[in-house]
Amino acid sequence: MSVSMDELGPGLKIRMKNRNIDCYVFFTLALISLVALGVILYFIFAQAIPFVGKLKVVPEGMGAIVKWGQDYSHTRLWDLFSTRWSPASYKHQFFGMVPMIVATTVITLGAMALAIPFGLSAAVFVGEVGPRWLKDIFKTVLELLAAVPSIVYGFFGLIIIAPWVRESFDVVSGSNGLSAALILSIMALPTIASLAEDALHAVPNTYREASLALGATKWQTIWRTLIPAASSGVIGAGILGMGRAVGETMAVLLVAGNSAFLTWNIFRSMRPLTAGIALDMAESVHGSAHYHALFALGAMLLLIALVMNWTAEWFHVRLLRRQGIREG
């Protein structure tokens, strides 16, 4: 039995038409996600910007406008970058988010310093060294871990990690930056390990063979060929893990201690940006300086996430260029 070109014709035409439809569909979806991002950015900044120019209470004798026996002044952008956060006081108000920026940075970097080496090692071990059955178990466990609600991690942190940190490091309270970093690293681990494993798995077998055939050992092959070749994916895994750590709220809220004093010491109680927003949102008066300051915290969180992303992306591009995959 043979089919003539004419018989195939209609099908071909439909396919051509479908191809155009497919094209529109993808374009529309891409556009929608861009618009959604734009809308989010717009609303956050639209709510953050009115912070400037609101009335705030200042310590006695320093204000400009006197009302109801208290000193008032107008908030300025610079207020956000002072080192003191004390927004709800009736005597004086401070809206400096520096302590929270520092806390977010310290906790996130701490979490990544733990999660990336462990995640990568787990991926290498499971993907390249260990037996195959281990890989299946590993993948299942990772998926399970990723599905655990963050509040559950928070409880775990509160009951297990914080007491452990207090005893092991002999600090006053286990609710501190380190506990938060630990819990975040546990939360980011599944993402990082699983994506890094995928990245290693995607390295063409020909690279492995080429390296082994030159007399490289398994570990030399992993370090000098596989990880560099998978570095795009590994960096991507790190970025996603970091994204999760920067944005995580619930788990951190339970273990970080949440004191808003400026400190770089990871063994002290810290309040990261996310916790800062979650703690205050319910109490802030709609439309007040405090309310808008919380949106400013959100905007700052967004900026930090973007900057971290861009930094990682920059490293990534530089690396690809060195490997010759992307032209300089």
Residue 316 contacts other proteins per CB under 8 A: no
Closer residue to other proteins, CB minimum distance, 212 or 240 = 212
Measured CA to CA, the distance from residue 70 to residue 60 in angstroms comes to 7
Residue 202 contacts other proteins per CB under 8 A: no
Report, in Å, the least distance between residue 312 CB and other proteins: 19
Residue 249 contacts other proteins per CB under 8 A: no
CA 199 from chain centre, in angstroms, equals 20
Report, in Å, the least distance between residue 322 CB and other proteins: 8
Measured CA to CA, the distance from residue 92 to residue 84 in angstroms comes to 11
Report, in Å, the least distance between residue 252 CB and other proteins: 38
Residue 215 contacts other proteins per CB under 8 A: yes
Return the range that interacts with other proteins (CB under 8 A); candidates 20-28, 73-81, 105-113, 208-216.
208-216
Burial, 324: exposed, middle or buried (Cβ in 10 Å; 0-12, 13-18, 19+)? exposed
H helix or E strand, kind and range, residue 306: helix 289-323
Report, in Å, the least distance between residue 49 CB and other proteins: 46
Residue 318 contacts other proteins per CB under 8 A: no
What is the DSSP secondary-structure string of 21-74? HHHHHHHHHHHHHHHHHHHHHHHHHHHHGGGTT-EEE-STT--SEEETTEEEEE
Query: For other proteins, how many residues bind (rule: CB under 8 A)?
Result: 24
Residue 315 contacts other proteins per CB under 8 A: no
Measured CA to CA, the distance from residue 73 to residue 61 in angstroms comes to 11
Report, in Å, the least distance between residue 77 CB and other proteins: 46
Among 146, 160, 212, 240, binds other proteins (CB under 8 A): 212
Closer residue to other proteins, CB minimum distance, 279 or 320 = 320
- What is the C-alpha end-to-end distance of the chain, expressed in Å? 55
Residue 229 contacts other proteins per CB under 8 A: yes
Closer residue to other proteins, CB minimum distance, 228 or 243 = 228
- Residue 18 and residue 31 in contact, taking contact as beta carbons nearer than 8 Å: no
Residue 58 contacts other proteins per CB under 8 A: no
254-313 positions binding other proteins, by CB under 8 A = none
Residue 210 contacts other proteins per CB under 8 A: yes
The dihedral built from the CA positions of residue 135, 140, 145 and 146, taken in this order, carries a sign that is: positive
Residue 228 contacts other proteins per CB under 8 A: yes
Residue 154 has a CB neighbour count (10 Å cut-off) of 22
- Residue 157 and residue 183 in contact, taking contact as beta carbons nearer than 8 Å: yes
Report, in Å, the least distance between residue 132 CB and other proteins: 8
Pairing of strands 65-67, 70-74: antiparallel
Structure tokens at 232: 């795009």
Residue 214 contacts other proteins per CB under 8 A: yes
Residue 225 contacts other proteins per CB under 8 A: yes
Order of strands across the sheet with 65-67? 55-57, 70-74, 65-67
Residue 211 contacts other proteins per CB under 8 A: yes
Contact letters (x/-) for other proteins, 128-167, by CB under 8 A? ----x-----------------------------------
Structure tokens at 81: 């970058």
Query: Footprint of other proteins on this chain (CB under 8 A)?
Result: 132, 204-217, 220, 224-225, 228-229, 322-325
